[in-house]
């Protein structure tokens, strides 16, 4: 793909949907490392810790792909108006919000 606007949309939507999935617990499937099982079911606590990380990545990636395909429809002149640095700024903003969300680990709450 050689459309910087679509690539930028992919990055920001991927990161944003990943973080939204983590915050809101949107987890299409979970991995249970004790039994080495991927499942869409929410298993009881006896199944051990559940991991949603893989699902959040897949969800973010798919959302990013769909959004970047939609961005291909947008006229390139609109993309040029945005400049080329907004993607990195968007990722920095998502990262800053992630730090804010995760700060409770350090605040002792």
Which stretches of the chain bind another protein, using CB under 8 A? 1-2, 4, 7-8, 10-12, 14-15, 18-19, 22, 31, 33-34, 36, 48-49, 51, 53-54, 56-57, 60, 64, 83-85, 87-89, 91-92, 94-95, 98-99, 102-106, 108
Cα–Cα distance list, 36 to 8, 19, 31, 53 (Å): 35, 25, 7, 15
State the burial class of residue 109 (Cβ atoms within 10 Å of its Cβ: 0-12, 13-18, 19+). Answer: exposed
Closest separation in Å from C-beta 73 to another protein: 18
Closest separation in Å from C-beta 105 to another protein: 2
């Amino acid at each position: 793909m050689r459309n910087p606007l679509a690539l930028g949309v992919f990055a920001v939507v991927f990161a944003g949907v990943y973080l939204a999935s983590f915050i809101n617990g949107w987890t299409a499937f979970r991995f249970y490392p004790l039994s080495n099982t991927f499942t869409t079911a929410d298993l009881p606590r006896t199944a051990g810790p559940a991991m949603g990380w893989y699902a959040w990545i897949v969800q973010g990636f798919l959302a990013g792909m769909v959004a970047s395909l939609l961005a291909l429809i947008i006229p390139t002149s609109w993309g040029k108006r945005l400049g080329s640095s907004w993607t990195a700024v968007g990722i920095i903003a998502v990262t800053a919000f992630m730090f804010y969300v995760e700060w409770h680990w350090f605040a002792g709450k």
